[in-house]
Structure 1
């Protein structure tokens, strides 16, 4: 009897000769199986938290979102409702649970968020793994793990807010940008009409035809969706003035300054104002104006980077998107816990490429996600009342976001503008003998 040689396998334990089919889990690589197992277990816990009905997120969906659903179903935007401050595309997220009339609004909303999460997780795995079970050259499964591990740190929050589909649109736009810039830009435009910030993901599109296609696709899709929503609903343009009355929210970077000031004797108070918990008192307007100036400066720096950038690599569009959203998040007058979902998604896309400059920044974002859960919901009530303990928690969280923003910008600049990086990236010349083919 002749012994047969063992079948060669890849580093993921997948037979090299066997086909890799998404519809047959038995053909999946071991890492894909591990990701699937962890995803199922962690998402069951997240659904359980939301389904208990005691979480604030469930109450928000049941009351606020359902109220908006009823208003929108009559063909009107919630004009005059100070809590509605979103572009008209957000109506799609509020109306979508109505497609499942056999479920309650909360159940349908959570199910749609779960499906969005699953599709996003599958997309991250798909861009990392080859059909034969290996890894694409230059690609990494770290992004898939970032998404799988980070989202549950926010407990039930991701399934109780509509930021998941917005983030999924932005991630899909980025992943499509290299090969199909027009389609990527179109998705970014749709995302911008749902929650504005996805417009930033086209910032890093390589110069030339790809940039023109991505930016044109974004503008056309955004304009088309805006026209459709304005035709179907009354009050679609009200969002243009909806942010004028916003102050300094207690979880923002400027809010951290006021938290410390309050503990040192500043007489300000925290009240529900313009749809969120904000500081009211002396010098709050000054802090709000400084935040707006910092946002303008961040935008100016991004334009300068775009003008000065000379080197594009496969990771740069992803890295630029993360840097842009980090800068706009940390300088905003409002930082809600669900904003961390945006950063998780963009960091995950960056980590799908081994050459990304943002890999250490993703670790800082992961730490910020963990501290965010300590802030909300654990210390949120205490933060409203005041005290050094909740103040230190929010200062730590925002400090991590500030470090992540500055580090991200520095690494992006060094990777694409700095001549030092160009010198280090120059190919090494072999001094050995020259071989002639």
Structure 2
């Protein structure tokens, strides 16, 4: 979309649904909402606002795209299943290559996944090596009994492609896409509980709306300070190997006990690690940042080297050597919450949030938000809405909330409840 220096003509205030943030959550929400509104010939219009809609400067832009549907928290499993269903309808959006977890003691996890309707099967050592050739060291696998767990319906999402597709769908349905930086949000003097009004100060001018949705990721607390302790930004190391010839599809791979994961990106491999103490990124640093890429932490060098030790030597070497120096690596900032669940729902009259959401759960979260905004949905979603309520932490001690959120960084499987 070409840049503009002024606001276009907008529909009446009461007909505006303004979404701030064009990452995968905001873009999916814009697509779902605009599709339903167009089908019902509604006068309401979606307005999607971001500082750079196409380039995706937030976490969506660097997301590795792993989509594992089973989680010990049922809410996340349900959101992931809904997300995969949505992604499968987007060309180039999702590759159902499967997800492989390497290690022992996975029998209970396998049975639990089957109980919620997901395909899962235990693999022996040779089956693991056959499924992910070149990614797993044979000497790290158990010789007897299960050595891995495979989820054939899991896969990898292209978060950028999904976002761009959903933006195109929204625009075709009459949504207005605006490149503008939002600096503040304030209720108007005439705002009431029954007739809420919010004013957005943007680099294109003021936008007033009666329905506002924040899908702002790591910048959530910059616009709503109430998110400061419940949406905590953290540093995370990820790296790419040197380029290679495109190969057949390989499942994404996780080593749960080591907090390491890897995947084939097509013409390069990727590896990331949670095997380090959580590093909070301050609100001041987030406020001054124009992207979700943070400064490199020196300690991450050893964190990644430990991760490479899980790979065969020749594979590990492709991450450590490159013409001119190190293979590409970066600090990808994202958000964690005190209970490992995203904040999805109504945060005030006419005010909604979809933050702390991973790619794995983005489309499912967007669909749930659309139901709330349009007053739709089923009785079966009541528990989901309650579990994801952005106000569920109200009244709790702020420092404890932040501590709990940082603790969730290492607990990616929610093993600690």
Structure with more relative contact order (C-alpha pairs < 8 Å, separation 6 or more): 2
Whose strand proportion is higher, 1 or 2?
2
Instruction: Answer yes or no: same fold by TM over 0.5.
Output: no
TM-score between the two structures when normalised by the length of structure 2: 0.27
Whose helix proportion is higher, 1 or 2?
1
